[in-house]
Amino acid sequence: MTQDTALIDATGTPEDAAAAPERKVFIKTYGCQMNVYDSGRMSDALASEGYVTTDDMEDADLVLLNTCHIREKAAEKVYSALGRLRETKKVRAAEGREFMIGVAGCVAQAEGDEIARREPAVDVVIGPQTYHRLPQALRRARIGERVVDTEYALEDKFEHLPDPTKTKGRVRSVTAFLTVQEGCDKFCTFCVVPYTRGSEVSRPLLQIVSEAEKLVADGVRELTLLGQNVNAWHGVDAAGRAIGLGDLLYRLAEIPGLARLRYTTSHPRDMDDRLIEAHRDLRMLMPYLHLPVQAGSDRILKAMNRRHKAAEYVALIERIRAARPDIALSGDFIVGFPGETDEDFRATLDLVETVGYAQAYSFKYSTRPGTPGADLPDHVPEEIKVERLARLQELLLKQQQEFSQSLIGRTIDLLLEKPGRLPGQLIGRSPWLQSVNVDANSSQIGDIINVRITAAGPNSLFAEVAEG
Ligand code: SAH
Ligand code: SF4
Ligand code: F3S
């Protein structure tokens, strides 16, 4: 997943920490966009403690790993990174210089005590629901306590975090993530998220609108609403009426200066009529939808507890396409779920052929201890998973390239995000989240311009400014 769009980087001295010695934190973010957002908010929280962020680990007084537990490999990475940090800590101790190690995110939540036991060099373990307490945890650690704070906090962390636009010196961005919902109640049998992120919680409407307004006032033009299951978001409006994500999008679309809206990640079961209407009515809601299906076989979908059939997913896509014909689809797939036969796998390929994806992520099933999938019979041998993944990825890549090629010669809107590699070149995002290089001397970052696509590379598109 792209993680470079909204990293909030604190590189100044915040006023309220003028008296504290300046310290530097290096944050390494693993996993999904939610972790990217959380890393930004943690750096805001640390700024009030006198920390500025650095992208040079050698220079850091605190290294914070914001971790992901979704697949075995993701979790393993944390322990190998900690092994290396332990060595750095020894060197720093010999120099008499402070070096603290913190572990945050989903591995912290799932294996907090285990981390503390296996890796004595770790000073602080902090969960995704408690990271507003990071400054206090560090203070406690500095006087010798080893802190594991992964209880679900009773208080709302968002009420205790500093305004994300107020961290002095942060690198401003024209795109931002905004978490509106956390946790998941779906319990797909392969997935750790309901255990690491807890049950579904929606942030209140006013809190979201207020954060969105602050971000827009700070120069943000495109907002991506985040949630592990974002289309399960629900709230109440000023009249006390129950509302869902569709209504939230209509409300946010009223913010002057905001040009684009996106949201991710959605579950097919929660795509309600109002949300589909929002795709029909709101031009600023980008015509791009990440709607994971995971598999194309009804037998496997059932075993995964996805609670819908393949044909229902395809019918849903048809309704969404009828509402917004230029919408492009993205998805997630798992191959080699326990019991998956060649025939089941073929059903996944068939579904991909039927839907036609502009972009997708695909993974080999990874057994996660504690999830129901781990106890299922008939685990698929690794070599079959490898072979199926290669076949699926070949098809998905072909579709992605076809989609990119289909844009050549077309004029599209581009939100300019950052300078390109060559002078005069800028990089922007297409409505379909593709990265586009354009020579645009007279335009500025934050502008939305009309460009004509001239070529499609493997990872990005090329364009020229369209006249008129
Ligand atoms: N909330 C999102 C996705 C969360 S995790 C949703 O419901 O779709 C992101 C993706 O990781 C999932 O969509 C799934 O494709 C993949 N994933 C989750 N658990 C996995 C596992 N045990 N093995 C392999 N891939 C997994
Ligand atoms: Fe995991 Fe399923 Fe929830 Fe997505 S919907 S986070 S895959 S349990
Ligand atoms: Fe990973 Fe946690 Fe996100 S497990 S995918 S970082 S919600």
Ligand 3 mean position to 294 CA, how many Å? 16
Q: In this predicted model, what pLDDT tens digit does every residue of 273-331 receive, in sequence order? A: 999 999 999 999 999 999 999 999 999 999 999 999 999 999 999 999 999 999 999 99
- Annotated ligand binding at 106? The verdict is yes
The ranges of the chain annotated as CATH 3.30.750.210 are 172-286
Q: Which amino acid is at 380?
A: V
9 pLDDT above the threshold of 80: no
The ranges of the chain annotated as CATH 3.40.50.12160 are 3-157
Q: What is the DSSP string of 259-278?
A: -EEEEE---GGG--HHHHHH
Ligand 3 mean position to 223 CA, how many Å? 20
Helices (H), 284-426: 298-303, 310-323, 342-355, 382-406
Q: In this predicted model, what pLDDT tens digit does every residue of 334-363 receive, in sequence order? A: 999 999 999 999 999 999 999 999 999 999
Is 3-157 CATH 3.40.50.970? no
**187 pocket-lining for ligand 2 (C-beta < 6 Å):** yes
Is residue 20 very low, low, confident or very high in pLDDT (cuts 50, 70, 90)?
low
**229 pocket-lining for ligand 2 (C-beta < 6 Å):** yes
Pocket test for ligand 2, best of 267, 305, 306, 368 (most atoms within 8 A of CB): 267
Ligand (nearest to CA of 71): 1
Of the candidates 322, 345, 323, the one whose C-alpha atom is nearest the C-alpha of residue 334 is 345
The ranges of the chain annotated as CATH 2.40.50.140 are 411-465
- Annotated ligand binding at 191? The verdict is yes
**308 pocket-lining for ligand 2 (C-beta < 6 Å):** no
- Annotated ligand binding at 351? The verdict is no
| Cα gap 88→68, rounded to integer Å | 23
The domain made up of 288-307+324-406 has a fold known as: Transcription Regulator spoIIAA (3.30.750)
Is 411-465 CATH 2.40.50.140? yes
Of the candidates 261, 302, 303, the one whose C-alpha atom is nearest the C-alpha of residue 279 is 261
Q: What is the DSSP string of 89-136?
A: HHHHHHHT---EEEEEHHHHHHHHHHHHHH-TT--EEE-TTTGGGHHH
The ranges of the chain annotated as CATH 3.30.750.200 are 288-307+324-406
- Annotated ligand binding at 403? The verdict is no
CATH code for the part of the protein at 172-286: 3.30.750.210
Q: What percent of the chain has pLDDT over 70?
A: 95
